[in-house]
Amino acid sequence: MTRKIQLPQTKYLLMGILPVLLVIAFLAMSGNFKSSVDSPTGGLEEKFVILSSANTNYCAPSNFLDAKADNDRLQGSCCSKMDFHRYAEQVEGLKQYSGIDVIPSDPYDIEASLAKRLIAYDKEIVLTAQQQQVYDKAMSMSMEGGPCCCKCWRWTAFEGQAKYLITEYNFDEKQIAKAWDLEDGCGGSGHANHSEPEKI
């Protein structure tokens, strides 16, 4: 007479639960993968939320940097509200200049030390007549009609930046205008308004 061996009930229970757990794990992993594919901007959205509410970057003359420590950061938009789609395009576009330390990687998050350095270039660098033509052409080609939407510290800083790029990297007018457009910190999708900032 053959004797039947009975398996413990716990083993049957585990055998029933295990497939369910595997399915849940697979779905969870699939969801995470899909999420990462659908959102290539990753942490950029979180940074956008922070920068869009920051106010240490505003329309002020270049001397306002005198009160800033070198490790301070100039964050946020100086004029209009930031637009995420435009912001993502700018950050992506600026990656091509990662080897040039005078071009910021984020137009809405700039170190005060870099801003001071660029303003110093504006005072120190004198363009030749031919180089000045490159600069003038870049002015007319840029989205804002110049280094910034108004003649504030950013205008002076990116004017100095352009002088440096023209003299040290031989940038032409198209390259200068493109860099200006990508590092535009005025917010929105761009606008031209060359007003003078209030004195502080």
Per-residue pLDDT tens digits for 47-59: 999 999 888 887 7
Averaged pLDDT, 134-138:
98
Alpha-carbon distance of 196 to 175, in angstroms, equals 26
Structure tokens at 53: 């509410």
Return the pLDDT at 17.
Answer: 52
pLDDT at position 6 is: 52
* pLDDT score, position 66: 93
Domain range summary for the chain, segments of one domain joined by +: 44-182
State the pairing for strand pair 73-75/109-111: antiparallel
Provide the pLDDT confidence category of residue 42 given band limits of 50, 70 and 90: low
Q: What pLDDT digit, counting tens, does each position of 87-119 carry?
A: 999 999 999 999 999 999 999 999 999 999 999
Predicted TM-score of the model (pTM)? 0.73
Q: How confident is the model at residue 14 (pLDDT cuts 50, 70, 90)?
A: very low
Whether 195 has a pLDDT exceeding 80, the answer reads: no
* Structure tokens given for 131: 């180089």
80 half-sphere exposure, CB direction, 13 A CA radius: 17
Q: Half-sphere exposure (CA, 13 Å, Cβ side) for 138? A: 27
∠86-91-93 over CA atoms, to 5°? Answer: 90
C-alpha 103: how far from its chain's center? 11
List 75's β-bridge partners, or say none: 109
- Cα–Cα distance for residue pair 113/72, rounded to 1 Å: 8
In the chain, where does DSSP find H-type helix? 9-38, 44-52, 84-94, 112-124, 129-141, 153-168, 173-182
Give the model's pLDDT for residue 39.
Answer: 39
| Residue closest to 138 by CA, chosen among 170, 167, 172, 107 | 172
CA distances 139 to 116, 135, 155, Å, are 22, 6, 11
Q: Which of 91, 194, 180 is nearest to 143 (CA)?
A: 180
- Report which secondary-structure segment, H or E, holds 74: strand 73-75
Residue 25 has φ and ψ, to the nearest 5°, of -60, -40
